[in-house]
Chains A and B, each alone.
Chain A
């Protein structure tokens, strides 16, 4: 069975600090996708990134970066120079990939509440 663990529940930082959100996953599949979603106070779920299990390259998008390490089953998310607008709940998620390449369900972690203080 799939499982996503986000051990941190709440993180509070001061604006301009860097912050890393941890994600550890479990799956028996060799092919899978990993995701990060952001849920701001308004409540919607905003897609941030998708990574497939064969691509371990780190990715950077502006102030956001992701570190994928299959050896430790981790997919961590770092926000550099955090801003108040980054305050939200962040979810890591995992999905299997069927042998046909088709989608399967997303399994979410419990989420990390990030508060960025001015």
Chain B
């Protein structure tokens, strides 16, 4: 299995631009999670889906952030407009009901 695949690995964008991060979960996994990692706040959950349905989005920082999961094999996290404080590493993870969590390699976002 290829594991959880995230793209791009690195993204540098200017403040105010739209940024879209992508995630392909492990085939057959029914949960998908988006986490953000910063020095100040550590690893924090942004949102998670079960069978493509958002279950808990209480970690989404503000309306500039949105996430979708149109099908079982793809999810996006969008930031519009981006701000320098959004700079972080964004991880996607997937899991199968009742089992462990597998993380992607992360997307390092830098907003200048």
Which B residues, 81 to 112, have Cβ-Cβ distances below 8 Å to chain A? 89, 91, 93, 95, 97-103, 105-106, 108
CA distance A106 to B35 in the complex (A): 10
Asked if A66 CB lies within 8 Å of chain B CBs, one says no
CA distance A111 to B40 in the complex (A): 12
Whether the Cβ atoms of B101 and A106 lie closer than 8 Å is: yes
Which residues from chain B contact A102 at a C-beta distance below 8 Å? 50, 97-98
Which residues from chain B contact A50 at a C-beta distance below 8 Å? 100
Interface residues of A: mostly helix, strand, loop or mixed? loop
CA distance A95 to B33 in the complex (A): 13
Asked if A25 CB lies within 8 Å of chain B CBs, one says no
Whether the Cβ atoms of B43 and A108 lie closer than 8 Å is: yes
Which A residue's beta carbon lies closest to that of B105? A44
Contact of B103 among A44, A101, A105 (CB under 8 A): A44
Asked if B61 CB lies within 8 Å of chain A CBs, one says no
Which residues from chain B contact A45 at a C-beta distance below 8 Å? 91, 93, 103, 106
CA distance A62 to B75 in the complex (A): 37
Interface residues in A, total, Cβ within 8 A: 20
Task: Report the minimum CB–CB distance from A4 to chain B (whole Å).
Answer: 10
Among A45, A47, A111: residue with most chain B CB under 10 A: A45
Task: Report the minimum CB–CB distance from A104 to chain B (whole Å).
Answer: 8
Inter-chain pairs besides A43-B89, A44-B105, 7 sampled, C-beta below 8 Å = A47-B101, A47-B102, A103-B95, A103-B97, A103-B101, A105-B56, A110-B42
Q: Which residues of A contact B (CB under 8 A)?
A: 35, 37, 43-45, 47, 50, 91, 95, 97, 101-103, 105-111
Q: Which residues of B contact A (CB under 8 A)?
A: 31, 33, 35, 42-45, 48, 50, 56, 89, 91, 93, 95, 97-103, 105-106, 108
Q: Could you pull out 7 A-B pairs where Cβ atoms are within 8 angstroms?
A: A37-B103, A43-B89, A47-B101, A103-B50, A105-B33, A105-B48, A106-B101
